[in-house]
Amino acid sequence: MKKLIATFALSIGFAAFASAAPPKVEPSAREYIEWCDIWISHANETNLPRVLLIGDSITRDYYPEVEKHLNGRAYVARYCTSRFLTDPVLEKEIAMVLGGTKFDVIHFNNGMHGWQHSEQEYQKAFPKFLNTIRKYAPEARLVWASTTPLKESKTLPPGNQTESSDERIAARNAIALEAIKGKGIAVDELNLAMRGHPEYHSDNVHFNGDGVKVQAEKVAEMIGIELSDK
């Protein structure tokens, strides 16, 4: 009888684990390398507000400078990832980060990866992305950052959804702006700050020290406003 109960309990445990696992994603829906980088500094401190930067490698580049700007005002963490909005692992990772630490301000962006996905998919998935952040950080002040431009824009053939372009970045930014409208979310126009400045780029996507400095100052300024209002 004890063995039967133990076997039943073990079966229930495996079933619960299976139901919690994210649904399978077709390999073609992902990039060649998918990655995430989570960094939470001063995790054992409680005397200052906490800020989280959500983004990609561009966010990861300006993170250290933002942390310097906000030194003494807030502890700054980062969650950077390559995952597109439709990837169920993205939701799992956001839940893990926000479920383990309370943040007062969240500065977020997702728009530079997943070019194999259409803007229609982006539009459909963005509300869920936003709702996930809200679900696990209901009291946090939110700041959305527009996706930055490329150094060399490309014009794609109609129906081609495999490459990035400034036109597609603009479309995704417009979709995100519409999704956050009327929700009390501040807007950090990093795209506008970088647009028309090819000298800020280190390659077609990323930025050099001067570009990172400009972005970090703007990000820190926007976060500072939100911290002051709390």
Instruction: Summarize pLDDT for 5-55 with one digit per residue, the tens.
Output: 343 333 434 344 344 566 678 888 888 899 999 999 999 999 999 999 999
Please give the domain boundaries of the chain with CATH numbers for all domains.
Answer: 32-151+161-229 (3.40.50.1110)
Query: Given its phi and psi angles, is residue 74 left (phi above 0), alpha (psi -120 to 50 degrees) or beta?
Result: beta
pLDDT above 50 for 229: yes
pLDDT digit string, tens, across residues 150-194: 998 766 666 666 789 999 999 999 999 999 999 999 999 999 999
Interatomic CA distance for residues 117 and 86, integer angstroms: 9
Interatomic CA distance for residues 89 and 81, integer angstroms: 10
Cβ 73 vs Cβ 227: under 8 Å: yes
pLDDT digit string, tens, across residues 196-207: 999 999 999 999
Interatomic CA distance for residues 112 and 115, integer angstroms: 8
Among the listed residues 187, 218, 191, the one whose alpha carbon sits nearest the alpha carbon of residue 205: 191
Q: Which residues contact 68 (CB under 8 A, 6 or more apart)?
A: 216
The label of the residue with tokens 């969650």 reads: 79
The angle that helices 119-136 and 166-180 make with each other, rounded to 10 degrees, is: 40
pLDDT above 60 for 123: yes
pLDDT in the model for residue 106: 98
Spell out a b/e string for 10-32, using b for 16 or more CB atoms within 10 Å of the CB, else e.
eeeeeeeeeeeeeeeeeeeebee
Confidence band of 127 (pLDDT split at 50, 70, 90): very high
**For residue 39, what is the enclosing H or E element?**
strand 36-40
pTM score of the predicted model: 0.88
Interatomic CA distance for residues 14 and 163, integer angstroms: 41
Strand pairing of 36-40 and 75-81?
antiparallel
Per the model's pLDDT, the better-predicted residue between 9 and 124 turns out to be: 124
Averaged confidence pLDDT in the chain: 90
pLDDT in the model for residue 152: 86
State percent of the chain over pLDDT 70: 86
